[in-house]
Chain A
Amino acid sequence: MANMTLQKQALLGGYSQRFDNTMMSERTNLSILSLAVPLGAKNTVDTTLNQQHGVSWPDIGKVHRSNTDQSIWLGLQQDQCFALFSDLTDEGFAQVSAQLQAAAYITDQSDSWVCINIDGPLARTALERICPIDLHPTVLGESCVTRTTMEHLAVIIHCTGSNSFELLSPSSSAKSFLHALETSFHNIA
C-alpha cells in the first residue's frame, strides 16, 4: 500500500535532563551491529575491520575508535563485539552491514538497545547507587567497556571520558532503566 509509511519512535522521546552540573540524555541517532567471529577466522575479521573501518578487533573490555569514519567498536565477548555508527541512513547502514557480512556473522542490534549518555561530575556518584562494578578511573577508564546488571537490567557501560559514560540497556525496559537512573540522581541530591 503505497501511501502508508511507518514512523520511527524514539524509546525515551529524545530525553534530556540536567541534574545540577551533570547532563543525562538519550542518544537516538545510533546504529548498532553485532559482529561474531566465525570459528578460527579471527584474523580474517581483523583484516576486514582494518580495511573497511580502519580499526582492529577490540579485545574484551576495550573500545576502539575508527579514525576514518568515527565508528566505535565495543569488545563485549571474546568472539563478539558491537559496532556503533552515528547518523547512518538506511541505505548506508545496509551497505555497512553487507560489507561486514562477508567476513563475520552480523546481526542488526540497532533497535535492541536504548542509549543514554551521562556527562558530568555527578556521574559516578549517581551510578554507584545501581552499578556493582568498580567505576574508578583506574579500573573502568576511558575507552573501557563492560557489561553488568543494574536494578535487574542488563547494561553495557562504556566510559567515554573522565566524567562521562555511555550506557546501553535493552529497549523494552528503557523506561525502567531511565527511572533507575533518575532515581539515582534524585537520591544523591
Chain B
Amino acid sequence: MIINHPLLGPRDAAEFVYLGDASLINRPDGLTADASGDFYEYLYLRDNPAGLHKELWYHEQGDRSWLVVTRNTLTHEITEVELARDVAKAQGRDK
C-alpha cells in the first residue's frame, strides 16, 4: 500500500503506523456535564463504511507527521491525504 504524503510524495505504508478512525481527532471536553456519554461515543461507537473511510496514519519512519487518509475500504484506493494538524485546525481544534 502506498500513501501519497502531501509533503514527501508516495511512501510505502510500511513507514507508517495506523491508529484508527479520523474521528479520534474530535476528542470531547472532559469537564462538561455530558463528558461521560461523549467519551463513550468517542471511544466505542464507529461507523464501518463499505466505501470511503477517513483514518489516521502516523509517519513514524518518515517525518513524524500524523495524516488523515481517505481510503476506499472496498477498492483500497486512496483518494486523499491531508496533514492531520491541518484537519484538526480546520475543525476548530486549538489548545
Confirm or deny: A60 has a beta carbon within 8 angstroms of a beta carbon on chain B: yes
A interface residues (Cβ-Cβ under 8 A, vs B): 60-61, 76-78, 80, 132-133, 146-149, 154
A77 pairs with B8, CB closer than 8 A: no
- Cα distance A121–B62 in the bound complex, in angstroms: 26
A148 pairs with B61, CB closer than 8 A: yes
Enumerate B10-34 residues with CB–CB distance to A below 8 Å.
11-12, 14-15
Q: Which among A132, A146, A149 is the interface contact of B8 at CB below 8 angstroms?
A: A146
User: Whose C-beta in chain A lies nearest to the C-beta of B64?
Assistant: A77
Q: Provide the main secondary structure of the chain A interface.
A: strand
User: Whose C-beta in chain A lies nearest to the C-beta of B10?
Assistant: A134
CB distance from B76 to the nearest CB of A (A): 19
Confirm or deny: B41 has a beta carbon within 8 angstroms of a beta carbon on chain A: no
A147 pairs with B62, CB closer than 8 A: yes
- Cα distance A78–B8 in the bound complex, in angstroms: 11
Confirm or deny: B7 has a beta carbon within 8 angstroms of a beta carbon on chain A: yes
B63 pairs with A133, CB closer than 8 A: no
B14 pairs with A149, CB closer than 8 A: yes
